[in-house]
Amino acid sequence: MEAVKTSVQHARDNAKEFSRLNANIANTFENVARDNLRVHV
């Protein structure tokens, strides 16, 4: 039973980490797009 709890906790932690990474990637693309627009305008 403890192994199941541990596995579920790892899955939750991984989901949070993927969410955080996706947010960081989205922010990076947004910043790159903004910087490119600023350079070309």
Residue 39 reports pLDDT greater than 90: no
Q: Dihedral of the CA atoms 7, 11, 13, 17 (nearest 10)? A: 150
Across 26-38, average pLDDT:
93
| pLDDT computed for residue 41 by the predictor | 60
| pLDDT computed for residue 38 by the predictor | 83
Residue 40 reports pLDDT greater than 90: no
| pLDDT computed for residue 37 by the predictor | 86
Distance from C-alpha of 11 to C-alpha of 22, rounded to nearest angstrom: 16
User: Is the pTM above the cut of 0.75?
Assistant: no
Label residue 10 by pLDDT band (50, 70, 90): very high
